[in-house]
């Protein structure tokens, strides 16, 4: 078995989730790495859109380190601005949103704004929504990447920045005026989650080799739906790891560590 680190597992799993002939709205870092890996393996006609304004660029100049980066605009089919990227997304061209955040709850609501309950005097201030809030609302399906840590998988997020299924009621998103279908997958280094169709609650789909569903539940601050059959996550092969490390040779994103 090849030796890999947590973010390589996350990037590889992200790649597996993306289907061919779709458009993924990507943010900086792991989403781009996953999408590039998918393009080089099972999804050659997977295309990317970047919020600063480029559609279907060819990322051959190196890994973009910013979504507004020259590298993210290289040889695009359509290169305009933020309005055009998000308006096409509202219209329905983006199949996947690929976002991160600081906290997530059982209905897939994500916080990237503050910790604390006082908006004017937060305990911790994060960068803010950026594109994520609009992507989670307007792309068809939302994929969230997050390290599996109890402080992140919480009963209630301190601030809902990116909409999930809200309180889980069937018409929460409709009453919020958003168009995309909503949460689809949550990718961590030790588990892959989806959502139960009936309750819209987070559901365990796969666990990393050597771990049990109970191990995963222990790291999550709310009750997961655990079906009878939980698959084992596929691990990246030596060839996959080679590709991933060629995509991010400096290890800007793949070599980061997760506190256990």
Partner 1 sequence: MAESRIRDISQLKPYERKFEWWGPSPEEARKILASKPKGIRDKRMTLKDAVKKFVKDGINLGIGGFVNTRVPIAIVHEIIRQGAKNLTLSFQSQSLTAEYLAGAMILDENHLSIRRAEMAWWAYEVIGLAPLFRYLAQNGMIEIDDYSNYGMAARFKAGAMGVPFLPVRDMGGTDMELTNRGKMIECPFTGKNVYVVPACHPDVGIIHVQGADKYGNCRIFGPYCTCPEIAMASTYTIVTTEKMIAGKAIRQFPNLTEIPFPVVDAIVHQPYGAYPGAVYGFYWFDMAHIRLFRSACEEFRKTGKKDKLEEYYNKYIFECEDHDDFIRKIPPEDLKRARMLDGGQPLLV
Neighbouring residues of 161: CB distance < 8 A, sequence distance ≥ 6: 101, 110, 111, 112, 113, 128, 129, 132, 133
Residue 73 is a binding residue for partner 1 (CB under 8 A): yes
What's the alpha-carbon Rg for the chain, to the nearest Å?
Answer: 18
Using the structure block, give the residue that is written with the tokens 């983006």. 94
Side by side, the strands of the sheet bearing 182-187 are 78-79, 54-55, 47-50, 23-26, 96-99, 141-145, 182-187, 191-195, 202-207, 231-232
249 binds partner 1 (CB under 8 A): no
Question: Which residue from 11, 23, 46, 67 is in contact with partner 1, where contact means CB under 8 A?
Answer: 67
The smaller minimum CB distance to partner 1, of residues 35 and 230, is found at: 35
Is residue 149 part of the annotated active site? The answer reads no
Smallest distance, partner 1 to C-beta of residue 200, A: 13
Among residues 23 and 134, whose Cβ is nearest to partner 1?
134
Contact between 210 and partner 1 by CB under 8 A: the answer reads no
Q: What is the closest distance, in whole angstroms, from the C-beta atom of residue 98 to partner 1 in the complex?
A: 15
Minimum distance from residue 221 beta carbon to partner 1 (Å) = 14
86 lies in the binding site for partner 1 (CB under 8 A): yes
Secondary structure class of 8 (helix, strand, coil): helix
CA nearest to 96, candidates 156, 192, 14, 166: 14
Comparing CB distances to partner 1, the nearer of 87 and 246 is: 87
Stretch that binds partner 1, among 17-25, 74-82, 186-194, 218-226 (CB under 8 A): 74-82
CB of 54 to partner 1, least distance (A): 6
Of 8, 19, 51, 223, the active-site residue reads 51
d(CA 105, CA 111): 9
**In angstroms, what is the minimal distance from the CB of 90 to partner 1?**
5
The enclosing H or E element of 84 equals helix 82-91
242 torsion bin: left (phi>0), alpha (psi -120 to 50), beta (else): alpha
Residue positions annotated with a catalytic role: 51
Residues that bind partner 1 (CB under 8 A): 28-29, 50-54, 61, 65-74, 79-84, 86, 90, 109, 113, 117-134, 136-138, 156-163, 166-167, 169, 172-179, 252-253
């Amino acid at each position: 078995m090849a030796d890999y680190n947590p973010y390589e597992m996350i990037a590889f799993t992200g790649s597996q989730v993306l289907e061919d002939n779709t458009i993924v709205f990507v943010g900086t870092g792991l989403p781009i790495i996953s999408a590039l890996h998918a393009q080089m393996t099972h999804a050659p006609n997977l295309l990317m859109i970047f919020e600063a304004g480029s559609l279907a660029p060819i990322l051959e100049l190196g890994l973009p380190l910013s979504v507004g980066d020259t590298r993210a605009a290289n040889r695009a089919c359509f290169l305009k601005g933020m309005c055009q990227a998000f308006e096409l997304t509202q219209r329905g061209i983006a199949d996947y949103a690929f976002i991160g955040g600081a906290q997530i709850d059982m209905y897939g609501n994500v916080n990237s704004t503050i910790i604390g309950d006082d908006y004017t005097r937060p305990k911790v201030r994060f960068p803010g929504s950026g594109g994520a809030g609009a992507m989670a609302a307007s792309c068809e399906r939302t994929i969230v990447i997050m390290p599996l840590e109890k402080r992140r998988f919480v009963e209630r997020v301190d601030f809902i920045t990116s909409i999930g299924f809200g309180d889980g009621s069937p018409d929460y998103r409709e009453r919020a005026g958003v168009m995309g279908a909503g949460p689809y997958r949550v990718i961590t280094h030790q588990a892959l989650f989806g959502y139960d169709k009936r309750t819209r609650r987070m559901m365990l789909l796969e666990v990393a080799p050597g771990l049990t569903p109970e191990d995963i539940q222990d790291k999550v601050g709310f009750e997961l739906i655990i079906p009878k059959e939980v698959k084992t996550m596929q691990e990246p092969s030596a060839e996959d790891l080679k590709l991933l490390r060629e995509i991010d040779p400096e290890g800007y994103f793949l070599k980061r560590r997760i506190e256990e």
